[in-house]
Structure 1
Amino acid sequence: MIWFFPEGLAPITAPNIISAVAHARKKCDAPVHYFTSVPYILQMLFEDKHAVELLQSMDLVGVGGAPLPPAIGDGLVAAGINLVSRMGSMECGFLMSSHRNYQQDREWQYLRPIQDERYLQFEPRDNGLSELVVKPAWPLRVKTNRDDGSYATADLFEPHETIPNAWRYHSRADSQLVLANGKKFDPAPMEADILAATNILRDVFIFGSGKNYPGILLFPSSLDMSDTAILETAWAIIQKINSQSQGHARISRSMVIIVSVPLDEAALQKSSKGTILRNQAEEQYKSWIEAAYSKPGSAAPVQITSRDQLFQAVLECFFRVLGRNIDPDEDLFRQNVDSMACLQIRAQVMEACLPDPEEQLPLNIIYECGSVNNLVKHLEQVRSGEFLEKQDQNERRHQLMRHMADRYRDFSSSLRPKIHQGSRNVVVLTGATGFLGAHILHSLLCKEQKIDAVYLLVRAKTPEDAYQRVARVLTGYGLIDLRQISHTKPSVVCLPCDLSDGAIGFSTQHLDDFSKASTTFIHTAWTVNFNLRLPSFEDQVSGTQQLIQLAIKSGAKFVFISSIAAVSCSASHLIREDVSEDPADASPMGYSESKWVAEQVCAAAYKAVTATDSAPASEMLPWMSIIRVGQLCGNKLGIWNKSEAYPLMLSTESLVGCLPRLEDQPLDWLPVDTAADAILEIALGAHAKMFKNPSQQSNLATGPLVYHVLNPFTQPDWSQLLSWISEDDLGRGLEVVPPSEWVTRLEDTLAQTNEHHPSHVLVGLWKGSLAPEEMACPTGKIRPGSVQSYEMTRAKQSVPTLRDLEPLDKQRV
C-alpha cells in the first residue's frame, strides 16, 4: 500500500507522488498496477505531464470520497487512463463502482451496481432521477432508516440513455438548491466544472435558495486581474455550462458577482470532504447576495431623449442578463429567452428605461411584447402615456392570425393516395412527453388496441435521448414502464425529430420508409405557454403543415389535437362541431390563436385533397379529424399536470392566504386518461360506422370532422370544490375572496416579494378573465364558460367513452 499522507513529512505534490510510486515499484515484490486517491490528488496530477504518464502505466486508476470534476475525468479517460469511480458510505460500506470494459466503454461516471433488487434498488424521484436504497440483505449495511430494514441513502442518480443498469450520481436529495418556484438543482457539479475550467478562480459559490433565480459568487485566485477581465473569462465558461443545464439552473450575466477576499483567508468554509458548507456561506455573504437581488445590476438610468437611445438601453438590458446579443426583430421565445430571464430583463428595463422609479411593468411584459422592437414600442407608449385603443389591438391580432393561416394553407400540389388498407396498423404520435400525449401512449400500449407499432416523434438529439425522455415522463405520471413492455405489446420506436424542418429532421430514405409504414398520425405536441404571443407559435403551425403533408403522402389518417380555447370567445351560445372562420372566436392568447390558425391549416389541407379526389362522398373515408379538448384534470392515480391553470390557482393559497370565489364556475374537467381513451376511439376508426348513415356523408365534403372531447356536466362547481378543501383543511379555515381581490393580492405579492411562484406565468391571463371590467371577451362577446355550451353530438355518437361519462366527485378531483 502507498500512503500519500506522511503526516507532514512531505508535501503532497506531483513529483513526491511520482517518487513514492517509483520507490514502491523498486522495493516491492508485488507489481504496483492500481492507483487510487481522492479527487484533489487526481486533479493535481492531471496538470503534470509526468504524473499523467504514471497514471497511464496503471491497470486501474480509482477515485472516490467526493465527486471528481467531469472535465478532469474526461481528460484522464481521453489520455488512455482506465479510470474507475467508486462509491461507498459509512452506513453501508462499499456499494458500487464504474468497473467495465475500458477499451469499449468510456463512461467512467456511470456506476454499475449489482443487478439484484434484494441488495440495491433505485426508487424513482422527480425529474427522472432515482434514489439509491440499500436493502436489508446488503451484507455491509450497519444502519437503517426504514421500517423494513432498508437504508435510503438520499443519493440521487440518473440512468444512462443506452447502457442498462448504469447510473451517474446527480446530487443529494437533502442538499439541492430549491428556488422559490419549487424547482431544484444541485449546484456542486456546476461549481466544480467552473473551477476545473480556469485557474483564475480559487472558489465559486452558487446561491439562490428561496429566490426566483440563481446567482454566483466568484473568488479570484489573484488580486492582480481587474474585475472586468475576470468577468469576461468566467462568463465564457458559465455560458457553456448554462447551455448544458436545466433552464431554472442557468445563471444570468447580471447575477455574476466577483468577491475579493484576502488570499491568506479561506473564501468558503468546507467539510472534511471538501464540500462547501452552504448555510455558513449564505450567512457569511448575506449582504452580497441580498444586494444582487435588490439591485438588478444595471447602471444608473441614463437620460433618454430619443427612440434610438431607448432602443440601445433595452438592448443593453438584454445583454446584461443573457450575456449575448439578440435579434431585435426575431421572436424572443425562439431565441431561447426563458421565463426566468424575462423576469430579470423586466427588472433591468424598469430601472433603466422608465422615468418614474415607482412605475411597474406587467410581470409578463417581455413575453407579451415578443420581440425587442415591440418592447421598445410599448415603452414609448408607456413613457408618453399613449396606448392603442383595445379595438385596434384586437383587429391587429385577428389580422395577424389570418396572415399566418394564409402562409401555411397551400396544399395545391398534394395528391391523396388511397388510405392504407393493409394488415399493419402503425400510429405516429407527437407530444408523448406531454401530459395528454403520455396518457395517449399509455392507452395505446395497454388497452385492447390492434396496433402493431407506435412511432414517437420527440424533440431530442438521439433515439436514446428520445427514449429516455419518454420513459421518464411515463414513470413520473405513474404509467407504463417502457423497459418492461412485453413482446405482446406494440413495438415502440422513438425518433428524434425537428417539426420545423421540411423533412422533420429525417434523411430522405428514412423519411420515405417512415411515410410508407405510417397509417395514423395523432398530432398532440404543442407548446403550452399562455404568456407567448402568436408569432412564438409559428414553428408549431409550420410543423403541423409538415405532418399533414407526410400524412397525405402516406395515405394515412391525420388527427389534430386542438383546444376549446380556439373557439371559446364565439358569439354563439352553442359552439358547434365545425371549423370556425372567424379569428375573433379564439380567446386572446397566443396559444388559443395558434390552435385556431392550425385548424385553418387542417381545413385547407382537407379542401385541397378533396378537390383532387374523384371518388364520390359515399366512398370517402374520414381521413382528417380535429379534436378540441376541454380542461383536463388528473388521472386515476390522482396525478395532475402541475402546470395546469387550476392546480396553479389552488397552489396560490399558500402564497396569498386566499382563493377566488368563482360564481357558477362548473368543474367541467375531464380526467386525462378518459380524454386519451376518447381520442383513440376517434383516431383508430371506431367512429367510421356513423358514416353508413347517408345524412352524415355530406359532412365529408365540407371539411375535417370536428369533435368536442370535454366534460359536459355543470355540477359539481367551484364552490363545492372549496367546500371539499375546507373539509380536509383540519379546521384551519379557507379564506375566499372576490376574484379581483385575489388577483390583486397575488400580483402585489409576486411583485413586492420578488417571488417566482409558478403561478406568475398566468397572472396576466387571470387578470384579464377574472377582473370585473373584463368579464367579456375583448370583442364584447360572451365570457368563456359563462352561458356557453359545446355541441357534442358527433363526439357522443362516435365515442362510447364520452357517452358513459359521469360528473366528477371528491375522490376523482
Structure 2
Amino acid sequence: MEPSDSYRKSDLFVASHHTLPNPWKFAGRGDDRITTSDGVKILPLPLEGEIQQHHLVREAVVFGIDRLETPGMMLFREKDADGVRMSDTEFLNIIWPLIEDLKDYMKALAEITKESVLVMPEDMTCPWADIISIKRTQPYSEFASSIDELYNRLDNLRGPGLMLSMPELEIWIFLRFKELGITLLGKKSDFFGSGVDSLKAIQMRELIMKSIDLGGKAEECAPLIVLDTGNIEKLARKLVAIREGEDVERGNNDQIQIMEGLIKDFCFFEKHVPGSHSDSQDGKVVVLTGATGSLGSHVLAHLATQSDIRTIHCLLRPTGSTGISPHDSLCIGLQKRNFPGLYPMTTRRFPDIQPQSSDISKPDLGLSREMIRSLRMHATHIIHCAWEVNCALPTVSFRQQVASVQNLLKLSLTSTRSEPAHFLFCSSVGVAMRTPSTIPLVPETPIPSLTHCSPTGYAQSKLISERIIEKAVAEYGARATILRIGQIIPGGGRGTPKWNQNEMIPLLMRTAISIGVLPSRIGTRFGDTCSWVDVNKLAESIIEIAGLSSQDEGQIYDNGKNKGHREESQLVYNIVHPRPFSWFNDFLPSLKLAGLQYNVVSYREWVEKLSRSKIDLENNSSRELLEFWLAQLGNTYEFDEEREIRFDTQRAQGKSKTLRDMVNLVEGLKLVELAKGIINT
C-alpha cells in the first residue's frame, strides 16, 4: 500500500534503525528546527522535553535563530509548583544542574550559559499549536524585545574589542577560520579557493564585529568585506585601515587595479602559425563548455540538429571522488535540464557527442596529450558557456574562470589548421551597466573603460575576459567573438521551464515573499526596460552568429539590401531582446495575475526594507546581495529614464534571424507563465 502524503506536512523524521534503510521515526515539526546565522541547524525538542519533565518547569524554548551567538533558552515557570515563592535566580539555580547534564547530549547547545537563559514570569504563557507543541515562531516574535535585551547584555559583558597589530590580526583571522573549518595555507591564500563561501564569510564578519576594535567605525565593515578582500593579509590591512581612519579604498586594493592586474596576468599568448592541416569537407568539430548548464544544454541541443557538425566535445567539470563518469555526468545533467533524449543518442548519427572530464582552469585543460592533439587538429569552433553565476562573489574569486578563457584561447591559437578555431565567449551586459549617460546606446564594440562595468565580481570578471580576448585578437591573430548577453529567461517548448535560482530576477522576486514588497524599477541603471531573452532562442541565435546554423550560415540582413553577402569581421555582438517590455506596466501586473501578493515601493525604499530584514540564507537569500542592490542606485536615489542603459543590437540581428524575429513577450499570456515560473522556482 502506498504511503499517504503526510510526509509533505513539514514534519521531520529521522532514521530509526542503524542497519535497515526504511524505518523512520517522527522527530518534530518543520518549524521546530532552528537555524543560527552560522548555518547550524538544531532540533532542540529532546533537550526541551527533558527539561519540561522537571516539576518546576511548564515550558522550555530554545532560541537563537538568525543569531551567530550560541542559542539561549526561555524557561516558563510552573505556577506555585512547590507552594514556595522564589526569585528568578533561585529558580535558575535549581534547574541549572539539569541543563548542564543535558547539554552533553547536544553539542550545538553546549555553550548555553546561565546568562543566556531567560526566566519568564509565572503568569506568562507560551503559545501552543493545535497538536500540543510549541508554535516556535510565536514566542520568538512575542518575546523578541526580551531576547534582544539578553543579547545586548551579553555584548556588554564582552568588554571592548581587541586592539591587535597587523601581524596579530593576521594570526587571529587564521585561527578563527580554522575554528570555522577552513584551513588556509598562508596569509595570501585565496579565501574562495580555500573553501570560504558566502556563509563562512558572513560568520567571519560577525566574529570581527564582535571581537575586534574597529575604532568606532564598525559601519565601514562592509557585509562582503571578507570575500571582497580575498585573503588574510588584505583583510587584516583593511581592518587596520578602518580602525586608523585611513583611506579605506586606498588601503584596500582598488577594484580597477585588481581588474588590470588580472588582465595582465592572463593575456600572454603565442601567435597562430597556420598548419598544413587544411579545412576538410568532413564537417565541423565544436568544443563546448557548460553543456550541463542552462544555456550550455540548449546550445548543445541546437548543435545536435546541425547536419554539417561532425563532433561535439563537451568539456565537463571533473566529478572528483564520486566515481561518476563523464558519460553519466552528461546524462544526469541533460535529464535535469529536461533534455533526456539528447544523450546518449538512440540511433547512431552525426553529430557525435563526446563528453570529456576537463578542468579548463588548467593550462592543459585537464585533458590527455592525445585529446589535446586531436582538438588542435580538428576543432573548428570553441563555445565557452561555463561560468560561476554568483553576484555575491568578489572579482578575485573568479580568477580560475578568467584563467579558463586564456587556456581555451591558447587551444584555439595552437590549432594545426590553416586558421585558429573560432572562439565564442558568452559575456554579459553587466560589463556596461555603468556606462555614462552621455552614451545613449551601448554599441557592439569593446567597452572603452573598466569604470563602465557593474561593480559585481561576476560582471567585472566578464569584462576582464573581454579585454583578454581583445588583445588575443589584435596582437596574436585569434579568431574570436564576444557575445554580450542580457537577462536570460526559461525557454519555451524545450528544456527546463525553471529559472536559475541564483540569477538576479528570481532573487529579486523572492523579496515579495520575504519582505512583502517589490521595487517599481529595477534600479536606476536597469530602469524599466526588460529586454530578456528566452534561453532557447538565445542558444539558436548563438549558433547562427557562430556560423554553425545549416540554414543561415554567414549571412547578414540589412532590410533585405545585403542578403547573401558575408559580413565583415565583427568582434562584439549585443544579444538582448529587440522588443523589450515594461517592468512596471507589464511584468509587475503579470506577477499578481500569477498569484503573487506584494506592495510596490520605490527602488530606494525597497533597498532600505531589504537592508533592515534578517539575514536568512534559506528564506531571504536576496539579503546576501545587499551591496549589489545598493550599487544599482548609482549616484542618485530616483529613476531617471535618460540614465537607463540600452544596447544596440543591429549587428547581432543582422547575423541572427532568430534574434530579429523575436516576438514581444507581452503578447498573450507569456508574461504570466514567466511569472509563474519565478514563483515556483
TM > 0.5 fold call:
yes
Which of the residues 424, 431, 434 maps onto 1:566?
Answer: 431
Q: Is the 8 A contact 1:442 1:480 kept in 2?
A: no
Q: Is the 8 A contact 1:431 1:458 kept in 2?
A: yes
| Deviation digits for residues 157-189 of structure 1 (CA, Å, limit 9, x no counterpart) | xxxxxxxxxxx999999999988799x99999x
Supply the distance in 1 between the matched residues of 2:380 and 2:624 (Cα, whole angstroms).
38
Is residue 483 of structure 2 the alignment partner of residue 627 of structure 1? yes
Q: Is the 8 A contact 2:36 2:64 kept in 1?
A: no
Which of the residues 788, 793, 802 maps onto 2:645?
Answer: 788
Supply the distance in 2 between the matched residues of 1:359 and 1:401 (Cα, whole angstroms).
27
| Deviation digits for residues 675-733 of structure 1 (CA, Å, limit 9, x no counterpart) | 11111112244465348979998953xxx521111113342333422222223438x5x
1:759 corresponds in structure 2 to 622
Q: Is the 8 A contact 2:532 2:580 kept in 1?
A: no
Is residue 312 of structure 2 the alignment partner of residue 312 of structure 1? no
Shift of 1:470: 3.5
Which of the residues 583, 587, 595 maps onto 2:450?
Answer: 583
Q: Is the 8 A contact 2:289 2:315 kept in 1?
A: yes
Q: Secondary structure at the match of 1:558?
A: strand
Is residue 204 of structure 2 the alignment partner of residue 341 of structure 1? no
Is residue 473 of structure 2 the alignment partner of residue 640 of structure 1? no
Q: Is the 8 A contact 2:514 2:619 kept in 1?
A: no
> 1:419/1:684 Cα in 2 relative to 1: closer, same or farther (>3 Å)?
farther
Amino acid at match of 1:349: I
2:660 corresponds in structure 1 to 803
Is residue 531 of structure 2 the alignment partner of residue 668 of structure 1? yes
Q: Is the 8 A contact 1:749 1:755 kept in 2?
A: no
| Deviation digits for residues 122-170 of structure 1 (CA, Å, limit 9, x no counterpart) | xxxxxxxxxxxxxxxxxxx476769xxxxxxx999xxxxxxxxxxx999
Amino acid at match of 1:370: G
Amino acid at match of 1:420: D
Identical-residue share of aligned pairs (%): 23
1:408 corresponds in structure 2 to 266
Residue ranges of structure 1 left out of the alignment (5+ in a row): 1-140, 147-153, 157-167, 189-206, 217-226, 232-253, 261-278, 612-622, 777-782
Supply the distance in 2 between the matched residues of 1:484 and 1:170 (Cα, whole angstroms).
37
1:124 corresponds in structure 2 to none
Is residue 333 of structure 2 the alignment partner of residue 473 of structure 1? yes
> 1:172/1:377 Cα in 2 relative to 1: closer, same or farther (>3 Å)?
farther
Q: Is the 8 A contact 1:208 1:214 kept in 2?
A: no
2:296 corresponds in structure 1 to 437
Supply the distance in 2 between the matched residues of 1:355 and 1:393 (Cα, whole angstroms).
14
Q: Is the 8 A contact 2:607 2:629 kept in 1?
A: yes
1:740 corresponds in structure 2 to 604
2:377 corresponds in structure 1 to 516
> 1:557/1:812 Cα in 2 relative to 1: closer, same or farther (>3 Å)?
farther
Q: Is the 8 A contact 1:431 1:523 kept in 2?
A: yes
Shift of 1:353: 1.0
Supply the distance in 2 between the matched residues of 1:697 and 1:784 (Cα, whole angstroms).
37
| Deviation digits for residues 292-317 of structure 1 (CA, Å, limit 9, x no counterpart) | x9999x98765315333333333332
TM normalised by structure 2 equals 0.69
2:47 corresponds in structure 1 to none
Is residue 566 of structure 2 the alignment partner of residue 709 of structure 1? no
Residue ranges of structure 2 left out of the alignment (5+ in a row): 7-11, 15-20, 44-61, 72-99, 114-132, 141-146, 675-681
TM normalised by structure 1 equals 0.59
Amino acid at match of 1:624: A
Amino acid at match of 1:713: R
1:533 corresponds in structure 2 to 394
Amino acid at match of 1:718: F
| Deviation digits for residues 452-490 of structure 1 (CA, Å, limit 9, x no counterpart) | 332111111468344444333333333334566322553
Amino acid at match of 2:610: L
Is residue 635 of structure 2 the alignment partner of residue 768 of structure 1? no
Amino acid at match of 1:798: K
Shift of 1:669: 0.9
> 1:658/1:449 Cα in 2 relative to 1: closer, same or farther (>3 Å)?
farther
> 1:346/1:312 Cα in 2 relative to 1: closer, same or farther (>3 Å)?
same
Q: Is the 8 A contact 2:431 2:453 kept in 1?
A: yes
> 1:674/1:785 Cα in 2 relative to 1: closer, same or farther (>3 Å)?
farther
Shift of 1:602: 1.5
Supply the distance in 2 between the matched residues of 1:172 and 1:578 (Cα, whole angstroms).
62
Higher relative contact order (CA 8 A, sep 6+): 2
How many residues align? The count is 557
Is residue 554 of structure 2 the alignment partner of residue 689 of structure 1? yes
Cα RMSD for the two superposed structures: 4.8
Q: Is the 8 A contact 1:629 1:708 kept in 2?
A: yes
Supply the distance in 2 between the matched residues of 1:651 and 1:358 (Cα, whole angstroms).
32
1:680 corresponds in structure 2 to 543
Supply the distance in 1 between the matched residues of 2:211 and 2:576 (Cα, whole angstroms).
47
Q: Is the 8 A contact 1:670 1:710 kept in 2?
A: yes
Query: Matches of residues 256-655 of structure 1 in structure 2 within 5 Å?
Result: 257=110, 303-355=162-214, 359-360=218-219, 361-388=221-248, 396-417=254-275, 420-445=279-304, 447-461=305-319, 464-482=324-342, 485-488=345-348, 490-554=351-415, 555=417, 556-571=421-436, 572-610=439-477, 623-636=479-492, 638-655=497-514
Supply the distance in 2 between the matched residues of 1:500 and 1:349 (Cα, whole angstroms).
33
> 1:690/1:212 Cα in 2 relative to 1: closer, same or farther (>3 Å)?
farther
Q: Secondary structure at the match of 1:322?
A: coil
Shift of 1:798: 0.8
Query: Matches of residues 15-30 of structure 1 in structure 2 within 5 Å?
Result: none
Q: Is the 8 A contact 1:414 1:608 kept in 2?
A: no
